[in-house]
């Protein structure tokens, strides 16, 4: 593959603080590349330097094999667009938000209209053209921001935590869009995230960024083969340790204490640590009839409002964190003390 963008010994300081320390990195044209790391690790700073929004303190950047300098920086900036974690939309229609960047590109009205409608189709917002962007849900607003970037049709698309605190439906749409745009248009995509599952699902290469240093670069399998070194920052919730026994069907049953047992799709015996993603747990006020191997009855002991989603702490003998949409939270009239049922598949139980 051809290298699209290369960092050579890039360092960025903010006064006395080193945000990026001697970064050497190559991004191949047409790939989806993930920067994985905790908050404050330098991911956003690295993306902003790629987008030519800020300058490195030292080091060299090459775009398409050409060294970026003050004279040609504007040219390379037009080949790059960035979607920020915090959505910023104009107080006007969805169409006018998406069209904004195209007004400066010298395109015909027909080309502009085609690009806007194609971008909205990608993010599954067809028919939203006349709606007021700021009145949409948080997830829909993030999809408008992504559509605005896609309409520019740049060679390099930079995404800063594109699905942070989104509900599962909007998260799934954005992930599907990223994969489809890369596959159909060959757009090079660099995504910063702390979500290692997202990195594992939609990317071919991952760089682990810790305290401004690249500590590992490789395939998801190579990066995640020792997940214990990731759990300190990857926001792993529902982490349980216990003793596993192998069942006749090839699953394992793990005794995590207080009379609570978890079934996992693995053949492990003895001491083991596992975790379950909050968004993989189904929650209901009624008894759940499901093929899921793990079903529990419990009571809500904590509620955290995360914007478009709500995280619940549910005590089933052990405490689980469950993520649901704010709409579902309201419709089920849940609160601290509510009795609920949880269910999740054995395949949703991951090893640490």
Per-residue model confidence as pLDDT tens digits over 8-66: 999 999 998 999 999 999 999 999 999 998 888 999 999 999 999 999 999 999 999 99
Residue 228, pLDDT above cutoff 70: no
The per-residue pLDDT for range 292-349, each reduced to its tens digit, is 899 999 999 999 887 778 899 999 999 999 999 888 999 999 999 999 999 999 999 9
Looking at per-residue confidence, does 233 or 100 come out higher?
A: 100
Query: pLDDT band at 234, cuts 50/70/90?
Result: low
Third-level CATH fold of 239-351: OB fold (Dihydrolipoamide Acetyltransferase, E2P) (2.40.50)
The CATH number given to 3-229 is: 3.40.50.300
| Highest mean pLDDT of the ranges 56-65, 97-106, 202-211 | 56-65
Taking the C-alpha atoms of residue 310 and residue 166, their distance in angstroms, rounded to an integer, is 10
Give the model's confidence band at 134: pLDDT under 50 very low, under 70 low, under 90 confident, else very high. Answer: very high
Q: Is the pLDDT of residue 170 over 90?
A: no
Q: Where are the domains of the chain?
A: 3-229, 239-351
């Amino acid at each position: 593959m051809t290298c699209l963008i290369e960092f050579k010994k890039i360092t960025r300081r903010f006064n006395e603080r080193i945000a990026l320390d001697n970064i050497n990195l190559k991004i191949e044209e047409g790939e989806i590349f993930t920067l994985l790391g905790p908050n404050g690790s330098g991911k956003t700073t690295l993306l902003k330097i790629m987008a030519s929004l800020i300058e490195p303190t030292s080091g060299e950047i090459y775009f398409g094999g050409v060294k970026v300098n003050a004279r040609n920086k504007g040219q390379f900036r037009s080949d790059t667009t960035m979607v920020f974690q915090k959505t910023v939309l104009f107080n006007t229609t969805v169409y006018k938000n998406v069209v904004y960047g195209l007004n400066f590109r010298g395109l015909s009205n027909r080309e502009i209209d085609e690009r806007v409608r194609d971008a909205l189709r990608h993010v599954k917002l067809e028919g939203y053209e006349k709606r007021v962007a700021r009145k949409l849900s948080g997830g829909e607003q993030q999809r408008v921001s992504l559509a605005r970037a896609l309409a520019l049709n740049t060679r390099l698309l930079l995404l800063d935590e594109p699905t942070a605190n989104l509900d599962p439906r909007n998260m799934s749409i954005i992930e599907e869009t990223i994969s489809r745009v890369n596959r159909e248009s060959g757009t090079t995509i660099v995504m910063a995230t702390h979500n290692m599952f997202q990195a594992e699902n939609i990317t071919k290469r991952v760089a682990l960024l810790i305290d401004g240093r690249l500590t590992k670069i490789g395939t998801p399998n190579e990066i995640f083969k020792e997940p214990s070194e990731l759990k300190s920052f990857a926001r792993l919730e529902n982490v349980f340790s216990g003793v596993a026994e192998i069942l006749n069907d090839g699953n394992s049953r793990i005794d995590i204490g207080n009379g609570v047992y978890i079934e996992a799709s693995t053949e492990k015996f003895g001491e083991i640590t596992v975790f379950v993603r909050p968004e993989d747990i189904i929650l209901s006020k009624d008894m759940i009839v499901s093929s899921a191997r793990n079903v529990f009855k419990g009571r809500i002991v904590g509620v955290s409002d995360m914007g478009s989603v709500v995280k619940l702490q549910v005590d089933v003998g052990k405490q689980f964190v469950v993520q649901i949409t704010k709409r579902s939270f309201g419709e089920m009239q849940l609160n601290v003390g509510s009795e609920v049922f949880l269910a999740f598949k054995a395949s949703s139980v991951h090893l640490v």
